[in-house]
Amino acid sequence: MLESAAWGTAQARVLVLLEGRVGYRDLREFIARLEKEGELKRVRAEVDPLLEITEVVQRMCRPKNRGGGHRQGGEATSAETREPVLPVPNKALLFERPKGSRIPLLINAFGSVRRMCLALEVNDLDEIAQRIQGFLSMETPQGLFDKIKLLPKLSELGSFFPKSVKTGYCQETVQKGKDVNLFDFPILKCWPQDGGRFITFPLVFTKNPETGKRNVGMYRMQIYDERTTGMHWQTQKHGAEHFRRAREENPEGRIPVSVAIGTDPATALAGMLPIPADLDEMMFAGFLRREPVEMVACQTNELEVPANAEVVLEGYVNLNEMRTEGPFGDHTGFYSLEGEYPVFHVECVSHRKEPIYLTTVVGPPPQEDFYMGHAVERIFLPVMKMQYPEIVDVSMPAQGIFHNLMIVAIRKSYPGHARKIMNAIWSLGQAMFTKVIVVVDHDVDIHDYSEVVWKTLCALDPERDVQFSLGPIDTLDHAARMQDFGSKMGVDATRKWASEGFTRPWPDEICMDPGTKKHVEELWKTLGVD
């Protein structure tokens, strides 16, 4: 099915990609790269999108199912069944024959640090952070020579802006009205109690009704029937804000919405990036891929979508229509419960010839979304450090599911410095949802969670060092006292100073002296203990 001329071209261009001269043209070039790098497995057996594909993915990305479970008689066993489980390599999966659909399905494409680096065409995610740092550190030129030196960076910035084109691969096949049938696509029902099938990797395009500025978000979409879906616009998301503003102007009206599925990887990831509301996600995608995203006008509304998308859904949301959505097995590891959300009416579906359906599974961590979140953490660290230079590093453990735990290392300079950083983070965009912030000294390795727990607990006087705050909470936090509002906790795990009221001596950490370590290193091979 995928041996078309376009697919062959994608495979051929991988050789050019490896030289780093161009970005991925589309999703299938990325697939070809994954396959060349040994990061992709094709599944030719028929597998059902209803639950079965999720279970296959779980056996790849969940550690207990990859040889990390209990042991009986020397074999790894599942924690639930105590049955032997063989280690399975964590790969991207291309299901060529999903049951009930003629369209192949790609999943777990971003499910490792290596695949995230391949997606963004870097050897290390810090390379992107360094590029951002380079632009953030640009200073106002003082003279002619400084202005000349600045020209290359300004020229590069200009090359990131999206580029409008007349046609795109995404419109090779167009279906409208009664010809639209969302069930043609292998849309997943991921977990047993899910309210239905859900589109889980969409780029949802809307416009601010007041300014006309584009927004792109990644919001799950429950399939109700052949031509309608839910639109899970959480209260604090930009899509929800567009909905509210438009409803204030005309409660009986509608707003246009378009959804792109399966673009080149940098563009596909743009919908989840925590960038400011007035910054175009497509421009930032251009920054990531080092060339502009080509955008094509939709068939039935005034929105533009990436021309290289595999599938595009065009339609509208009525401003006076809400419908029950959910439950949904979410990234928290629990089901998010039913709620009332807007309804998306699909008027047109366009797609490439022989399209590929890109999707993902969320659930008990770690899943594929953890590696996406890890990339966001590393990429946007320079932005946080630009605002707060005392921040040395930040870590969000997988088990913290993004909004439950952030560990921050700071170079402490004055009394109460840790508490200042807690409050600063609670004022930063999506970081405002962070339920627990732990602040440690700069010399703590915050990516070694054993060290973090050890040094945090040893530095902690609970009554003195824990503070609570009330504020916005992630909609998916089922433990909050009410939806969208609850408490947060900050833990000051830095060493305390006399100026903070701590008058006792602070003990030194136990470390062996360098001379002894060197001498034992020289003796090591003679000891016979290996």
| Catalytically annotated residues | 330
Q: Which 8-state DSSP code applies to residue 257?
A: E
Among residues 9, 108, 99, which one has the least CA distance to residue 52? 99
HEC assignment per residue over 150-181: HHHHHHHHHCCCCEEECCCHHHCEEEEHHHCC
Burial of 41 (0-12, 13-18, 19+ CB in 10 A): middle
- In angstroms, the CA 74 to CA 314 distance is 55
Q: Are 239 and 231 in contact (CB under 8 A)?
A: yes
Using CA atoms, how far residue 122 sits from 113, 129, 384, in Å, is 11, 11, 21
**Number of other residues whose CB lies within 10 A of the CB of residue 319:** 19
Q: Which of 418, 415, 184 is nearest to 407 (CA)?
A: 418
**Could you give the 3-state DSSP secondary structure of residue 64?**
helix
- CA dist 169 and 69 (Å) reads 45
Q: How would you label 180-208 residue by residue, b for 16+ Cβ within 10 Å and e otherwise?
A: bebebbbbbbbbeebbbbbbbbbbbbbbb
Name the strand (E) or helix (H) holding 11: helix 5-18
Tokens read off for 136: 């953030």
